[in-house]
Amino acid sequence: KLDTGVTHSRVNFLKKTSTIQFDPTQTSLRKLAALLASIGYAPEINLGDVDGAKRPAMSRRLAYQIGVAGFAFGNIMLFSFPEYVGMDPETDRWFAKIFGYLSIALALPVLVFSSRDYLVSAWNGLRTRHLNIDVPLALGILMLFGRSVWEIVTHTGAGYMDSFAGLIFLLLTGKWFQQHTWQQLSFERDYKSYFPVAATVKSGDTETSVPVNRLVPGDIIVVRSQEIIPADGILLKGTARIDYSFVTGEAEPVTVKSGDRIFAGGKQVGESIEISLTRRVSQSHLTQLWNNDAFKSKYETDSVSSSPTQLADRAGRYFTGLILTFGGGAFFYWWLIQGDMHTAVNAFTAVMIVACPCAVALAIPFTLGNILRILGSNRFYLKNIRVVEAFSSINTTIFDKTGTITNVAQQQFEFHGKPLGYAEKVAVRSLTRHSAHPLSRRLYESMPDVPAETPKHFEEKPGLGIQGIVQGKNVKIGSAEFVGAEGQGVFVAMDGNVLGYFEVKSRYRDGLAEVLAFFCQPSAANRQSSIWLLSGDQDSEAGRLAPFFPDRDTMLFNRSPQDKLDFVKKLQRHG
């Protein structure tokens, strides 16, 4: 037993979850989480879980609808089997009646329950004078069911109950496929998923953990190295070096002094600091940006009917009119001109059944589902499924720089200053080998041909740099402040002498030029397309980006999140 405080545990392998019961007098939830992490099953905990927010699961009602339709489809197929093998209805009339009435009994729940969404959507469309694609679909469903009942009751045929149940089953399966695919690829996490579950609140000499959704203005919180700041506030104590890369895209930490404002979403990369909160988590600057209406297009805010997309509804307006015109014309032709009421009914129902937009209704969810699957497999995530329909009308594309058009894992280093000799390179690689900082790791990997030694002394100061003794020399690598210099970059100093600094140069992703050229091409819906670059970084790489963005005015640097938001709104206002 790994922990005597655990009294019972049960693992559900299908759901990939575990239920654990423990005695709080013998162990704590924190120790239990650490134990799980130590055996390779670190729990995924975020504020969204505390609030009870879960990924939307498939509707239980939809599952029941599919189950009813599938059950009826399979059994009606069995009842229809004698028809397929050539049973003589004259000699086996009794069996034909029994199987026919049983088929009606099985098909009724399919009509009333399984197809209800399509029928209600069609009725609502007619009531509001809006011909969506569910209108001809509902007409086809009703005609297929009605004609089948009429043939069975009047003993003029076997009906099409198996086709009716199969149609509903396939339509609902397509809807389930779309929902399931979207749930697997959904990127609908909100700001809570990024923030920690709790923060350390200081009251006098006492520190207690408080859920971040209970933090109020005036609380003093302690933020340690590598912790996320949950709400806006004022720095009271300590020197803050805040990594705002999640908020601004700028990878360089920002130094904040006592009395300055600090915003939510930043990560402290230095010593422990104390912050007096000025806003709640839900009212922070980051939260307001996240929930801004500028990022909620009409494709997101429109209500969802049983029809998968607005594209189908637009097609349904014209499709429905054509079906009713042809069906009505055939009916009146045979009834008024030919005087054959039986053929008139057959002609009308045949048009409604054959022209039922089943293929369109099935094609849309399957097509969108596969589009999402293909995009997701290439790590291209959409905020909303209806964005797919907006692709054809996009006329402006905005790119961020860090991590979007650049490959952060393949950054390049260029040294400025006195050229490093062999001994200096050994010292740099020896120190960076022992640091877990991402920049240190990439600097270490950039010199694969240089051997690394074990420093006699090594010390890492979070947010500043690293230092140690290599080959009898005191070596410092880090920020300008750390080595006593000025400027930006990763500085190197030995025995108090600053040798120079490494300039971190971004490596642009392969195929970037082709991608940008593609987005500049006129689309079918727009004669002209444009691309922009919005970055929170400095403009030091403007020259290297010029070949990709020939128009210098389309590259905007030093832009805060609010600046980016205002720019997006401006473009939206101008269409």
| Residue 313: closest CA among 114, 121, 526, 524 | 121
What per-residue confidence (pLDDT) applies to 303? 40
Any idea of the CA torsion for 117, 119, 122, 128, to the nearest 10 degrees?
A: -90
Residue 382 has pLDDT above 60, yes or no: yes
What per-residue confidence (pLDDT) applies to 388? 74
Our count of domains for the chain comes to 5
Mean pLDDT within 503-512: 83
When mean pLDDT is compared over 309-318, 428-437, 491-500, the highest value belongs to 491-500
What per-residue confidence (pLDDT) applies to 310? 55
Residue 226 forms part of a structural domain: yes
- Which DSSP helix (H) or strand (E) runs through 480? helix 480-483
First-residue to last-residue Cα distance in the chain:
64
Domain end position, chosen among 241, 258, 290: 290
| Residue 201: closest CA among 189, 218, 179, 187 | 218
Q: Express each pLDDT in 196-242 by its tens digit.
A: 788 999 988 888 989 888 899 999 999 988 888 989 999 999 888 88
Residue 133 forms part of a structural domain: yes
What per-residue confidence (pLDDT) applies to 14? 40
**Spatial distance between the Cα atoms of 214 and 371, rounded to a whole number of angstroms:** 41
172 and 148 in a common domain: yes
Mean pLDDT within 394-419: 82
Structure tokens at 488: 């930006």
175 and 68 in a common domain: yes
Structure tokens at 284: 């922070």
**Spatial distance between the Cα atoms of 298 and 393, rounded to a whole number of angstroms:** 13
What per-residue confidence (pLDDT) applies to 113? 95
Q: Express each pLDDT in 543-559 by its tens digit.
A: 888 888 878 888 998 78
CATH number of the domain that residue 464 is part of: 3.40.1110.10
Residue pair 533/551 in contact by the 8 Å Cβ criterion: no
**Spatial distance between the Cα atoms of 253 and 242, rounded to a whole number of angstroms:** 5
Residue pair 401/533 in contact by the 8 Å Cβ criterion: yes
Structure tokens at 573: 């206002």
Cα-flanking dihedrals φ and ψ of residue 206, to 5°? Answer: -105, 135
Structure tokens at 398: 């905005």
Domain that holds residue 11: 1-33
474 and 457 in a common domain: yes
513 and 500 in a common domain: no
Distances (CA, A) of 231 to 138, 190, 275: 51, 15, 9
What per-residue confidence (pLDDT) applies to 343? 85
Within 8 A by CB and 6+ apart from 495, the residues are 473, 474
What per-residue confidence (pLDDT) applies to 307? 39
Distances (CA, A) of 203 to 263, 274, 504, 545: 22, 11, 42, 50
Mean pLDDT within 157-175: 86
Mean pLDDT within 532-540: 80
What per-residue confidence (pLDDT) applies to 235? 94
| Residue 101: closest CA among 35, 181, 170, 155 | 155
6 and 118 in a common domain: no
DSSP 469: E
273 and 147 in a common domain: no
Residue 53 forms part of a structural domain: no
Residue 376 forms part of a structural domain: no
Residue pair 426/470 in contact by the 8 Å Cβ criterion: yes
DSSP 554: G
**Spatial distance between the Cα atoms of 137 and 131, rounded to a whole number of angstroms:** 11
What per-residue confidence (pLDDT) applies to 236? 93
What per-residue confidence (pLDDT) applies to 386? 66
CA 366, 368, 373, 375 dihedral sign is positive
527 and 489 in a common domain: no
**Spatial distance between the Cα atoms of 241 and 461, rounded to a whole number of angstroms:** 12
Mean pLDDT within 373-385: 71
The proportion of the chain whose per-residue pLDDT surpasses 90, expressed as a percent, equals 17
Locus of tokens 């497999």: 377
Residue 295 forms part of a structural domain: no
CATH number of the domain that residue 561 is part of: 3.40.50.1000
141 alpha carbon, distance to own chain's centre: 35
Q: In this structure, are strands 530-534 and 396-399 parallel, antiparallel, or unpaired?
A: parallel
Tell me if residue 284 falls in helix, strand or coil: coil
Residue 389 forms part of a structural domain: no
When mean pLDDT is compared over 70-84, 86-100, 121-135, 171-185, the highest value belongs to 70-84
CATH number of the domain that residue 206 is part of: 2.70.150.10
**Spatial distance between the Cα atoms of 565 and 295, rounded to a whole number of angstroms:** 9
**Spatial distance between the Cα atoms of 66 and 100, rounded to a whole number of angstroms:** 22
The region of weakest confidence among 59-68, 177-186, 273-282, 317-326 is: 177-186
Residue pair 389/310 in contact by the 8 Å Cβ criterion: yes
141 and 67 in a common domain: yes
Q: Express each pLDDT in 264-315 by its tens digit.
A: 888 888 778 999 999 888 777 666 666 666 555 444 444 444 334 555 556 6
Residue 381 forms part of a structural domain: no
User: Which position has the higher pLDDT, 471 or 131?
Assistant: 471
Mean pLDDT within 191-199: 73
DSSP 509: P
The proportion of the chain whose per-residue pLDDT surpasses 70, expressed as a percent, equals 77
Within 8 A by CB and 6+ apart from 504, the residues are 411, 412, 413, 439, 489, 490
User: Which position has the higher pLDDT, 47 or 224?
Assistant: 224
489 and 436 in a common domain: yes
Q: Express each pLDDT in 53-107 by its tens digit.
A: 455 455 788 999 999 999 999 999 888 776 666 666 555 667 778 888 899 999 9
281 and 199 in a common domain: yes
203 and 178 in a common domain: no
172 and 123 in a common domain: yes
Residue 29 forms part of a structural domain: yes
